């Protein structure tokens, strides 16, 4: 018999001791022998639940027999109202809040499985109660619900420092820290568990009248900046417009017209000497441009149509090649795919539910990115353009599919899984403030191709290339600059 390790030898002896206490198990190793001695003494170790039950039996009797006994009806150091948050991983949440907000753990009650039934943490002078999920008792986390209607508000001395600390611990910035009209410097962050925190430092005493005045003043400024019609964003355009660059743009427009019923709205000669055209497909605008001397940038598009089979057939008739015949997909749509003559990929789909039920701003033409490093790409969009992730589906430890909101548009993406896929593309992106977005995009890792410039076609725009080789034309009509 191979010699057993002392750890196994000890367990052999302990097992024998627990099974047959009267029979002495031979132990030769002196270390093991000394530990078996301890184990013998441990036999009959009291059960924790027995000890706790007996204690609570005394406690109950005490409360009944001694009405004078002082139990604080509101426990000391507790405010009357506390949030009780539910997490998909409460233990990780406690760690995060320790790191991000300097929380202090007051207590935790765990099931034997390790699941946290109840825990309490203190952040500054406030208590937060928390637990893992118990769906059977209606306790579900934002991850399960796909969001949370509850926002937490946290006042600190130095909000900028806190934001930095929270981001280092894994939070992401939802709204950058800025001075607010009501006298706070504040912003919003999203923690890794789906809760949003408004973090703030109070900077200025503002009377309620003054706040009201500033709010109205701010409101008056809003419509001009927010309403695309008023600030002159061309009709029909939303934040994100694919700019499909091909060597034969005229040919592509023909194809789009035949296959997808595109309507040509505008055609001119572009700044690089090629064609620039704008077409409408369904409810979406698409820019088409290029010339034989300009390198093509084929694009992948998720094209939501009323009848996928019909559109697929028309696309093939118009000269496209099939990537995939239409079929019902487990993710809630019937879809097929084609590649046009210029190498653009069209994922044609008819979802089982109305588009707006999938996402409010989802439209006919939805750009589909295949970055290598999908998470980094989402981070870039978030940091550069203030994008926010709407949903993701993960598999094989990668992001198979995600939807991201940018301004009033939605883009989709999935980790590149085939050599043909990265397919970097070009996007015309309407923003409120070209210069600010440009700076932010550079900070987020973009490379400048052209700093903000007033163009004679009416826009001020700046061009950057992101770390995934996509080109972003960050633009706003000159009128609002």
Partner 1 sequence: MSQATESDERLLIEAAQKDPSRFAELYEQNFHRVYAYVARRVRDRAETQDLTAHVFQQALANLGKFKWRGTPFVAWLYRIASNAIADQARRKVREVNDQPNPVTEASAPTDIEQVERRALLFQAVETLPEDQRRVIVLRFAEEKSIREIAGELQRSEGAIKQLQFRGLENLRNRLSEN
Site of interaction with partner 1 (CB under 8 A):
6-8, 10-11, 14-15, 18, 21, 34-35, 37-39, 41-48, 50-51, 54-55, 57-59, 61-63, 65-66, 68-69, 112-114
Tell me how far, at minimum, the Cβ of 86 lies from partner 1, in Å: 22
Contact 299, 293 (CB under 8 A): no
State which residue, 26 or 67, has the beta carbon closest to partner 1.
67
Tell me the CA end-to-end span of the chain in Å, nearest whole number.
Answer: 85
DSSP E strand stretches across 370-408: 388-395, 398-406
Place of tokens 């986390």: 141
Tell me how far, at minimum, the Cβ of 116 lies from partner 1, in Å: 14
**CB neighbours of residue 373 within 10 Å:** 15
State which residue, 50 or 418, has the beta carbon closest to partner 1.
50
Tell me how far, at minimum, the Cβ of 46 lies from partner 1, in Å: 5
| Coil, strand or helix at 182 | coil
Tell me how far, at minimum, the Cβ of 50 lies from partner 1, in Å: 5
Place of tokens 């934002």: 142
Place of tokens 């896929």: 421
State which residue, 133 or 340, has the beta carbon closest to partner 1.
133
Nearest-Å Rg of the Cα atoms of the chain is: 31
State which residue, 8 or 328, has the beta carbon closest to partner 1.
8
Cα distance between residue 358 and residue 331, in whole Å:
11
Tell me how far, at minimum, the Cβ of 132 lies from partner 1, in Å: 15
State which residue, 1 or 38, has the beta carbon closest to partner 1.
38
Strands 284-290 and 345-351: unpaired
State which residue, 46 or 273, has the beta carbon closest to partner 1.
46
Closest CA to 268 of 481, 114, 90, 456: 456
Cα distance between residue 227 and residue 240, in whole Å:
15
Tell me how far, at minimum, the Cβ of 204 lies from partner 1, in Å: 47
State which residue, 48 or 209, has the beta carbon closest to partner 1.
48
Cα distance between residue 428 and residue 462, in whole Å:
10
State which residue, 66 or 208, has the beta carbon closest to partner 1.
66
Tell me how far, at minimum, the Cβ of 355 lies from partner 1, in Å: 43
State which residue, 58 or 418, has the beta carbon closest to partner 1.
58
Tell me how far, at minimum, the Cβ of 56 lies from partner 1, in Å: 9
Contact 276, 321 (CB under 8 A): no
**CB neighbours of residue 386 within 10 Å:** 17
Strand partners, 428: 241, 473
Tell me how far, at minimum, the Cβ of 209 lies from partner 1, in Å: 54
| Coil, strand or helix at 312 | helix
State which residue, 3 or 205, has the beta carbon closest to partner 1.
3
Tell me how far, at minimum, the Cβ of 91 lies from partner 1, in Å: 12
For residue 301, how far is the Cα from the chain centroid? 22
Cα distance between residue 172 and residue 157, in whole Å:
20
Cα distance between residue 90 and residue 119, in whole Å:
8
């Amino acid at each position: 018999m191979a010699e057993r390790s002392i750890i196994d030898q000890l367990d052999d002896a302990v097992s024998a001791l627990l099974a047959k206490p009267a029979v002495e198990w031979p132990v030769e190793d002196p270390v093991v022998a000394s530990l078996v001695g301890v184990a013998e003494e441990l036999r009959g170790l009291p059960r924790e639940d027995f000890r706790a039950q007996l204690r609570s039996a005394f406690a109950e009797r005490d409360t009944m027999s001694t009405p004078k006994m002082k139990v604080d009806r509101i426990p000391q150091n507790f405010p009357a109202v506390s949030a009780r948050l539910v997490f998909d991983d409460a233990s990780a949440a406690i760690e995060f809040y320790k790191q991000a907000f300097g929380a202090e753990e007051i207590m935790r009650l765990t099931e034997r499985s390790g699941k946290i039934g109840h825990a309490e943490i203190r952040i500054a002078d406030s208590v937060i109660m928390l637990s893992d999920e118990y769906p059977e008792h209606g306790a579900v986390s934002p991850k399960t619900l796909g969001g949370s209607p509850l926002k937490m508000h946290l006042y600190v001395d130095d909000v900028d420092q806190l934001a930095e600390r929270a981001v280092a611990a894994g939070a992401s910035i939802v709204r950058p820290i800025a001075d607010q009209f009501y006298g706070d410097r504040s912003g919003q962050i999203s923690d890794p568990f789906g809760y949003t925190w408004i973090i703030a430092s109070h900077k200025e005493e503002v009377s309620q009248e003054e706040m009201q005045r500033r709010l109205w003043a701010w409101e008056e400024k809003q419509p001009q900046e927010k309403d695309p019609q008023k600030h002159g964003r061309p009709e029909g355009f939303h934040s994100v417009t694919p700019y499909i660059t091909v060597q034969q743009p005229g040919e592509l427009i023909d194809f789009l017209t035949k296959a997808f019923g595109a309507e040509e709205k505008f055609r001119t000669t572009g700044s690089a000497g090629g064609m620039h055209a704008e077409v409408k497909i369904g409810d979406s605008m698409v820019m088409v441009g290029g010339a034989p001397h300009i390198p093509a940038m084929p694009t992948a598009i998720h094209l939501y149509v009323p009848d996928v089979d019909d559109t697929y057939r028309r696309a093939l008739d118009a000269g496209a090649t099939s990537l995939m015949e239409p079929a019902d997909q487990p993710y809630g749509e019937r879809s097929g795919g084609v590649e046009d003559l210029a190498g653009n990929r069209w994922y044609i789909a008819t979802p089982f539910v109305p588009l707006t039920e999938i996402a409010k701003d989802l439209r006919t033409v939805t750009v589909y990115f295949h970055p290598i490093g999908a998470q980094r790409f989402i981070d870039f969009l978030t940091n550069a353009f203030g994008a926010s992730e709407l949903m993701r589906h993960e598999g094989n430890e990668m992001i198979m599919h995600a939807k991201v909101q940018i301004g009033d548009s939605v883009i989709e993406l999935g980790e590149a899984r085939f050599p043909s896929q990265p397919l970097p593309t070009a996007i015309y992106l309407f923003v409120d403030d070209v210069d600010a977005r440009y700076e932010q995009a550079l900070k987020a890792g973009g490379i400048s191709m052209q700093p903000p410039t007033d163009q004679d076609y009416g826009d001020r725009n700046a061009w950057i290339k992101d770390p995934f080789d996509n080109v972003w034309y960050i633009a706003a009509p000159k009128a609002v600059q």
